[in-house]
């Protein structure tokens, strides 16, 4: 059941990266692992981007519904943050004493990512000395890219900002500031800099992490995703590339560019713009599906990748991959931990009505391990709700 005190949500481009799991792929397979191709020189093109499936009108209406829900909840103060995102409406470009480019108080250090929508650059604040990852966009470019007949990439980016202005969880990348100068063509999202990276190296097969590390990461994924689902948010693109690991070892979920938000528990979707190899069977059929169950499938694929160092279903072409997702059986090594095998079978159940839920996962023996149950995060909106119930003299949770 969703949290009654607050809310829910979007689409953005991705950089193409080389396969991260330590095994070789041909070019056609590589394209199944990412949504869009990296713009290596950081420039922008005028091509139309549309990685949707299903009816375009459904895509457009879903995007508008999400934006309307977000704006309405924002207007009514239904925000799950104790401290709001800073909003800046002035861009000042300058240089520091060493000739490094600056945007407001942020000093540019190096580019750390790029895509068709924009680029991600590492900056250092001259006020607090901390590093931040800043996503930079050209608004004129976003307005030229159509992701639906009457919807542009600009809508996607704005929805992503609206979502991140509302969410707050230790396992979700935090938006610090949004910079939008009406007199400038540039738009910036200032994000916390996750100084670590997704590292697929461990004690298992080449490319795998080993059970202990995989368990730790899975617990963080489940905690963050449970929070999102409780707020009626479907992430839509859970995969290793969107899971960032801090130097402390904490994992954070990022990239809300294809996420969607709902008013209640009805999470029906038709659009499936995520990454093909992480797509749930029901999404491959072009029918209406439940977003939360599809997220859970993607968690299962991610866990399989972490412990096996390869994808559970991968063909030579898009259609071949979808055929394998829908029809092929899971393959496990004979020496796999029986508890882990049971968990993967539950997560990667092809029938979404029989698939494990995140609550089931959090209570699974393999997930609990020696660490005990996953701690339940008491978000700010729930705290406010509990305080209100206490002041009203109504029952409160213990």
Residues 359 and 25: their CA atoms lie apart, in Å, by 35
Q: What does pTM read for this prediction?
A: 0.79
304 CB contacts (<8 Å, ≥6 apart)?
310, 311, 312, 330, 344, 348
Q: What is the pLDDT of residue 9?
A: 28
CA distance 95 to 107: 8
In a domain, 160, yes or no: yes
Output the pLDDT for position 286: 79
Per-chain mean pLDDT for the chain: 79
Q: With contact defined as beta carbons under 8 Å apart, do 319 and 221 qualify?
A: no
CB atoms within 10 A of CB 164: 24
The backbone torsions φ and ψ at residue 119, rounded to the nearest 5 degrees and listed phi first, read -140, 160
395 secondary structure, DSSP code: -
Find the Cα–Cα–Cα–Cα dihedral 32, 33, 39, 42, rounded to 10°: 160
Tell whether 135 is in a known binding site.
yes
Residue 163 in domain? yes
Q: Is residue 43 part of a domain?
A: yes
Q: Within a domain: residue 255? A: no
23-45 pLDDT per residue, tens: 333 334 455 665 432 333 333 33
Do the domain assignments include residue 233? Answer: no
Active site residue 237: yes
Q: Are 302 and 278 in contact (CB under 8 A)?
A: yes
| Selected catalytic residue, list 237, 241, 267, 295 | 237
Kindly give the parts of the chain with pLDDT less than 50.
1-29, 35-57, 59-60, 199, 201-203, 395-398
Q: Report the pLDDT value the prediction gives residue 355, as an integer from 0 to 100.
A: 97
Quote the pLDDT of residue 53: 41
In a domain, 320, yes or no: no
115: in domain = yes
CATH number at residue 188: 3.30.200.20
**In this predicted structure, what is the pLDDT of residue 306?**
93
What is the per-residue pLDDT for 324?
A: 96
Residue 159 lies in a domain: yes
Residue 1 in tokens: 């059941």
Tell me the residue range of the domain where 110 lies.
37-50+82-192
Q: How many domains does the chain have?
A: 1
């Amino acid at each position: 059941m969703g949290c009654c005190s607050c809310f829910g949500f979007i689409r953005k481009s991705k950089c193409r990266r080389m396969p991260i799991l330590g095994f070789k792929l041909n070019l056609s397979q590589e394209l199944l692992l990412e949504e869009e191709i990296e713009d290596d020189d950081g420039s922008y093109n005028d091509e139309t981007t549309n990685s949707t499936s299903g009816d375009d009108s459904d895509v457009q209406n879903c995007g508008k519904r999400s934006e309307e829900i977000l704006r309405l909840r924002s207007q009514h103060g239904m925000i799950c943050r104790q401290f709001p995102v800073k909003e800046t409406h002035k861009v000042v470009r300058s240089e520091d004493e060493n000739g490094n480019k600056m945007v407001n108080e942020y000093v540019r250090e190096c580019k750390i990512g790029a895509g068709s929508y924009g680029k991600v650059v590492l900056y250092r604040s001259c006020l607090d000395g901390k590093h931040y990852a800043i996503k930079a966009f050209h608004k004129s470019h976003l307005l030229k890219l159509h992701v639906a007949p009457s919807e542009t990439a600009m809508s996607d980016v704005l929805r992503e900002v609206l979502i991140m202005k509302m969410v707050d969880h230790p396992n979700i990348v935090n938006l610090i500031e949004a910079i939008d100068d009406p007199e400038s063509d540039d738009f910036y999202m200032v994000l916390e800099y996750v100084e670590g990276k997704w590292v697929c190296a461990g004690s298992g097969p080449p490319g795998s992490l080993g059970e202990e590390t995989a368990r730790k990461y899975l617990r963080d994924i489940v905690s963050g995703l449970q929070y999102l689902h409780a707020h009626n948010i479907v992430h839509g693109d859970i995969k290793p590339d969107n899971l960032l690991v801090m130097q402390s070892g904490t994992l954070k979920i990022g990239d809300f560019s294809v996420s969607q938000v709902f008013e209640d528990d009805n999470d029906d979707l038709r659009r499936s713009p995520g990454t093909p190899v992480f797509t749930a069977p029901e999404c491959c059929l072009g029918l209406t599906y439940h977003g939360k169950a599809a997220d859970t499938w993607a968690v299962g694929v991610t866990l399989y990748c972490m412990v096996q160092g390869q994808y559970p279903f991968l063909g030579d072409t898009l259609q071949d991959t979808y055929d394998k997702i829908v029809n092929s059986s899971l393959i496990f090594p004979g020496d796999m931990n029986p508890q882990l095998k049971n968990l993967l079978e539950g997560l990667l159940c092809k029938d979404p009505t029989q698939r494990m839920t995140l609550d089931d996962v959090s209570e699974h023996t393999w997930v609990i391990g020696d660490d005990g149950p996953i701690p339940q995060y008491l978000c700010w909106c729930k705290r406010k709700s509990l305080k209100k119930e206490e002041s009203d003299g109504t029952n409160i949770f213990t």
